[in-house]
Amino acid sequence: MRIFMQLPVSDDRAPRFYQLVLQPDLLGGWTLIREWGQAGSPGRVRRELFAAREDAERALVTVRDAQVKRGYRVVYTEGQ
């Protein structure tokens, strides 16, 4: 599952992005990868490990909702 979000472009600041990726790991758990930064430059990355998919999905939705409240808009969604 992947969600890509951006802040609306304005004249006084560079465009910013926030990306969430949920993927299985090799040991049967799940990893939530969060990447954010200015468009066109490498972003910051944080990885969170979860034992169950449901917990990882819950965390993904929580982060997505928090970023939407900050003004980000969902541009692209892939997966369930």
Q: Is the pLDDT of residue 44 over 80?
A: yes
The pLDDT confidence band at residue 15, using thresholds 50, 70 and 90, is confident
| Section 44-60 average pLDDT | 97
Please report the pLDDT score of residue 64 as a whole number.
97
CA 60 to chain centre: 7
Q: Which residues contact 63 (CB under 8 A, 6 or more apart)?
A: 20, 32, 34
Is residue 21 very low, low, confident or very high in pLDDT (cuts 50, 70, 90)?
Answer: very high
At residue 6, the pLDDT reads 95
Confidence at residue 77, expressed as pLDDT on a 0 to 100 scale: 94
Enter the pTM of the model: 0.89
Domains defined along the chain, listed by start = 2-78 (2.20.140.10)
